[in-house]
């Protein structure tokens, strides 16, 4: 298969073009450094051609992890005979930051005898703002073809496909030879070309500046930051409540309709307890994950996240992190795995290590079902301000805040305790323009995330709930859970959890949650499903309330889940991206820390109440 | 036009002030000097200080239509010459 490479500066629209041309859904967002690995797929209009999306890089001399990946992949790809063409994407409205890279790429392609074409993206912005851009002049100056395209409006794609179809040898005919030109000369040339061909005027900068004056002003900007973060957490809980209720009633309605139809009692019990009780209890939380991913996506795509990184840079530095850690940390609120990959964009190795330390403490969406369950158990669902703000949302904010606080304390402590030999790396970040988020990719991304969540976590949950159900149902047919195999096992581990005021049922649920945190909910659902009477399938919350779980234990559970590293995948990825030693140290110390902290919390709450 | 120019650091520019890049201090790691040059902070280029969020936060600079935020470590090592005819912002 022929391969075509898609290179370019960060945030120039490579992944957007890739998605348009392949029909796939690579992650796209308005922040430089979103793509951190290469992705590939066949082109819709040329099925025998595979397009390869690269992480953005400002030059072929990388300073961060994802750039190094792009550069080393590029070197491999240029030596690959299957690579038939290189497409270099530039943001036509901001040519000045792309030209140096373009020249470097042209030089490398000429050295390796690969045809190269420049795609000047964002032609819609050029048109809408009546900017002047001269692709023909630029093409003459560079000696390679320049095509104006817009990924947003799918414009210019015919010329693009046509140029890919042309015989490679024709494309190789270069009017200008950059082969021998050293980097310093390329830089100078880039500047001259930028002066000549960059769209003139400051229309774009001025409209961006008006918003920045607000979002980056000393007082209002800080307030806006907290308001946005607050709304963010409210949205997860309060705004997704109606969808969750809907899912909940669908699940229980289905259960009530299906279970009586099953003639065999054991199978009926299994379907009711393990499937509807266990897996169903977890499905209820999927809407929250959808809302969470969507809201993070909106923040990223609007361009605000880069501003947030800037605002947070100084405060984060106190804790050994950098403003660039902000995006990985915020992604960690969705899931630690993409967050660990996103940390590649943190250029300093030391600060990247600190970011790794903090990520698993970020309140990820796998914790959300657990938090939501416990919060719903103890906190009334009253709302204020027309349902915009609720007590449960506030409680969630508090526990999320707790996780982040622990993360900062850990990195702060470790960075103070470990001597720093190298000087701090400086902070440079491109601030992308503010853009109205586009609904379709955002919704698609949130949908994909939910699908992933359901299929990946769902498989584990299904397996675990099945095992838990079998152990809990036999040998006495669900008559007495305490005397079942599970009960015997539970009483064996109970002493570990008794100091937290938790009985063996919670102990078992915690043990299973080391596979993945959300399994906790499924396991509890199954256990209470076996225990509960058959006629009324109560929501899990009601079961827990009825079981008389003390408040202190509830809070201790929240604290335990906030700190412990109960996720096999995170440990594996940490070992791969960081080191096995790091992963192991974090696993053990976060576990011990979680246990001790929750013990402390339980004792304090018990004394107070 | 008054061309009396004073050399100072990019970090010393106030929001709204524009200047021309003249060179780099030697406190800047070479890789980062390369990076800011690729961004367009090249000797001879016009830069504008757009914003200073305060509290020592990185400041915001514009070159043509691109906007970058640089922290003190970098901006203090970029030398600029100010023309007295300051171009105010709209
Ligand atoms: N108006 C407009 N916006 C675009 C166009 N192409 C991309 N964008 C927006 O530009 C931003 C960056 O797009 P991406 O496709 O993520 O850019 P990228 O080059 O893959 O970025 P990195 O992976 O971070 O290097 C997103 O907000 C897109 O919606 C376009 O043709 N017109
Ligand atoms: Mg991308």
Pocket flag, ligand 1, residue A445 (CB < 6 Å): no
Assign residue A247 a region (left: φ > 0; alpha: ψ between -120 and 50; beta: otherwise): alpha
Spatial distance between the Cα atoms of A507 and A145, rounded to a whole number of angstroms:
66
Residue of B nearest to A202 (CA): B65
Which range is least confidently modeled, A301-310, A381-390, A458-467?
A381-390
**Arithmetic mean of pLDDT, A142-168:** 88
For residue A166, the distance in angstroms to the closest alpha carbon of chain B comes to 32
- Judge whether residue A180 has pLDDT over 50: yes
Pocket flag, ligand 1, residue A301 (CB < 6 Å): yes
Local confidence band at B2 (pLDDT 50, 70, 90 cut-offs): very low
How would you classify the pairing of strands B18-24 and B78-83?
antiparallel
- Ligand 2 center from residue A485 Cα (angstroms): 51
Task: Name the residue of A5, A8, A9, A13 whose CB sits within 8 Å of the most ligand 1 atoms, as the mutation to test its pocket.
Answer: A13
Nearest CA to ligand 1 atom 32: A122
From the list A58, A188, A209, the residue facing B38 with the nearest CB is A58
**Arithmetic mean of pLDDT, A380-399:** 75
Residues of A in contact with B59 (CB under 8 A): none
> What would the pLDDT profile of B29-70 be if each residue is shown by its tens digit?
888 888 888 888 888 888 999 999 888 899 999 988 889 999
3-state secondary structure of A3: strand
| Three-state SS sequence of A453-466 | HHHHHHHHHHHHHH
A203 compared with A20, residue with greater pLDDT: A20
Residue of B nearest to A204 (CA): B65
| Residue B2: CA count within 13 A, CB half-sphere | 9
Pick the ligand that lies closest to the CA of residue A17: 1
- Judge whether residue A498 has pLDDT over 60: yes
Atom in ligand 1 nearest the alpha carbon of residue A57:
25
Residue A220 has which token pair? 């209002």
- Judge whether residue A378 has pLDDT over 60: yes
- Judge whether residue B85 has pLDDT over 50: no
> Cβ contact (<8 Å) for B66 and A424?
no
Distance, C-alpha A147 to centroid of its chain: 33
ipTM of the complex: 0.87
Pocket flag, ligand 1, residue A11 (CB < 6 Å): yes
> What would the pLDDT profile of A244-292 be if each residue is shown by its tens digit?
788 888 888 888 888 888 888 888 888 887 788 777 777 877 887 788 8
Pocket flag, ligand 1, residue A22 (CB < 6 Å): no
3-state secondary structure of A389: strand
Q: Which pLDDT score, from 0 to 100, does residue A554 have?
A: 92
Please name the residue ranges forming H helices in A30-134.
Answer: 65-78, 99-111, 123-128
Q: Which pLDDT score, from 0 to 100, does residue A59 have?
A: 87
CB contact, 8 Å: B67 with chain A? Answer: yes
> What would the pLDDT profile of A209-242 be if each residue is shown by its tens digit?
999 999 998 888 889 988 888 887 777 767 777 8
Pick the ligand that lies closest to the CA of residue A301: 1
> Cβ contact (<8 Å) for A428 and B44?
no
For residue B63, the distance in angstroms to the closest alpha carbon of chain A comes to 8
- Judge whether residue A451 has pLDDT over 80: yes
> What would the pLDDT profile of A476-492 be if each residue is shown by its tens digit?
776 777 788 888 888 88
The closest alpha carbon to A62, from A414, A335, A345, belongs to A345
- My answer on whether omega of the bond before A475 falls inside 30° of 0, hence cis, is yes
The closest alpha carbon to A23, from A5, A50, A52, A43, belongs to A43
Angstrom distances, CA of residue A475 to CA of A259, A487, A522: 22, 11, 21
- Judge whether residue A326 has pLDDT over 80: yes
- Ligand 1 center from residue A34 Cα (angstroms): 10
Domains of chain B: 5-83 (2.30.30.90)
Atom in ligand 1 nearest the alpha carbon of residue A441:
29
3-state secondary structure of A91: strand
Atom in ligand 1 nearest the alpha carbon of residue A149:
31
Pick the ligand that lies closest to the CA of residue A440: 1
- Are the CB atoms for A172 and A145 separated by under 8 Å? no
- Ligand 2 center from residue A6 Cα (angstroms): 10
| Three-state SS sequence of A310-329 | HHHHHHHHHCCCCHHHHHHH
- Judge whether residue B90 has pLDDT over 50: no
Residue of B nearest to A193 (CA): B40
Q: Which pLDDT score, from 0 to 100, does residue A559 have?
A: 95
Q: Which pLDDT score, from 0 to 100, does residue A414 have?
A: 94
pTM here is 0.82
Pocket flag, ligand 1, residue A15 (CB < 6 Å): yes
Residue of B nearest to A209 (CA): B50
Q: Return the number of CB contacts < 8 Å for A and B.
A: 123
- Are the CB atoms for B50 and B63 separated by under 8 Å? no
- Are the CB atoms for A311 and A298 separated by under 8 Å? no
Residue A148 has which token pair? 């104006």
Spatial distance between the Cα atoms of A118 and A7, rounded to a whole number of angstroms:
10
Residue-averaged pLDDT of chain A: 86
> What would the pLDDT profile of A185-213 be if each residue is shown by its tens digit?
888 898 889 889 988 777 778 888 999 99
Which range is least confidently modeled, A11-15, A481-485, A500-504?
A481-485
- Judge whether residue A537 has pLDDT over 60: no
The residues facing A42 across adjacent strands are A50
Local confidence band at A358 (pLDDT 50, 70, 90 cut-offs): very high
């Amino acid at each position: 298969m022929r391969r075509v490479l898609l290179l370019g500066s960060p945030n120039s629209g490579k992944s957007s073009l890739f998605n348009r041309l392949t029909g796939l859904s690579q992650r796209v967002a308005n922040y430089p450094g979103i793509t951190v690995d290469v992705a590939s797929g066949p082109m819709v209009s040329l099925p025998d051609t595979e397009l390869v999306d690269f992480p953005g890089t400002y030059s072929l001399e990388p300073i961060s992890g994802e750039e190094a990946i792009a550069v080393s992949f590029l070197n491999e790809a240029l030596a690959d005979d299957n690579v038939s063409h290189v497409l270099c994407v530039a943001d036509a409205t901001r040519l000045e930051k792309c030209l140096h890279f373009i020249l470097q790429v042209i030089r490398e392609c000429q050295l390796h005898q690969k045809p190269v074409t420049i795609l000047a993206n964002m032609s819609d912005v050029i048109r809408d703002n009546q900017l002047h851009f001269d692709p023909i002049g630029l093409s003459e100056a560079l000696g390679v073809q320049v095509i104006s395209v817009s990924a947003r409006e799918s414009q210019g794609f015919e010329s693009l496909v046509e140029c890919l179809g042309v015989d490679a040898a024709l494309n190789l005919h270069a009017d200008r030879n950059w082969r021998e030109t050293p980097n310093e000369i390329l830089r100078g040339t880039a500047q001259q070309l930028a002066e000549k061909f960059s769209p003139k005027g400051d229309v774009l900068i001025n409209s961006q500046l008006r918003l920045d004056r607000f979002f980056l002003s000393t007082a209002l900007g800080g307030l806006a930051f907290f308001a946005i973060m607050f709304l963010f957490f409210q949205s997860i809980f309060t705004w997704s409540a109606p969808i969750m209720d809907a899912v909940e009633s669908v699940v229980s309605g289905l259960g009530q309709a299906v279970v009586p139809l099953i003639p065999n009692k054991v199978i009926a019990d299994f379907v009711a307890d393990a499937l509807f009780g266990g897996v169903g209890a977890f499905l209820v939380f999927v809407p929250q994950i959808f809302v969470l991913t969507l809201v993070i996506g909106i923040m990223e795509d609007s361009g605000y996240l880069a501003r947030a990184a800037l605002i947070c840079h100084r405060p984060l530095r106190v804790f050994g992190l950098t403003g660039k850690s902000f995006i990985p940390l915020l992604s960690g609120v969705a899931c630690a795995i993409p967050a660990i990959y996103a940390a590649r964009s943190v250029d300093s190795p030391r600060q990247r290590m600190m970011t790794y330390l903090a990520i698993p403490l970020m309140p990820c969406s796998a914790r959300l079902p657990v938090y939501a369950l416990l919060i719903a158990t103890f906190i009334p669902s009253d709302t204020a301000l027309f349902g915009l703000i609720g007590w449960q949302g506030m409680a969630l904010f508090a526990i999320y805040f707790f996780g982040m606080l622990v993360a900062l304390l850990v990195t702060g402590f470790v960075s103070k305790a470990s001597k720093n030999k190298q000087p701090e790396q400086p902070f440079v970040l491109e601030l992308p323009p503010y853009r109205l988020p586009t609904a379709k990719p955002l919704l698609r991304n949130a949908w994909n995330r939910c699908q992933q969540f359901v299929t990946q976590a769902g498989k584990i949950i299904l397996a675990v709930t099945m095992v838990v159900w079998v152990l809990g149902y036999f040998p006495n047919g669900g008559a007495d859970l305490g005397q079942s195999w599970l009960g015997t096992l539970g009483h064996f581990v109970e002493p570990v959890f008794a100091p937290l005021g938790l009985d063996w049922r919670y102990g078992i649920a915690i043990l299973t949650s080391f596979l993945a945190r959300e399994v906790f909910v499924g396991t509890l659902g199954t256990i209470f499903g076996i225990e509960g009477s058959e006629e009324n399938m109560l929501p899990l919350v009601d079961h827990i309330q009825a079981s008389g779980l003390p408040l202190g234990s509830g809070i201790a559970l929240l604290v335990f889940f906030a700190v412990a590293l109960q996720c096999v995948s995170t440990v594996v990825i940490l070992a791969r991206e960081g080191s096995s030693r790091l992963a192991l140290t974090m696993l053990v110390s976060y576990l011990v820390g979680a246990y001790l902290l929750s013990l402390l919390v339980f004792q304090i709450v018990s004394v107070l109440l | 036009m008054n061309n009396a120019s004073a050399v100072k650091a990019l970090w010393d520019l106030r929001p709204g002030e524009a200047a021309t890049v003249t060179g780099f201090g030697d406190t800047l790691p070479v890789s980062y000097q390369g990076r800011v040059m690729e961004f367009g902070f090249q000797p001879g280029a016009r830069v504008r200080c757009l914003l200073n969020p305060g509290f020592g936060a990185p400041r915001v600079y514009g070159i043509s239509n691109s906007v970058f935020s640089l922290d003190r470590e970098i901006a203090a090592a970029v030398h600029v010459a100010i023309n007295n005819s300051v171009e105010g912002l709209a």
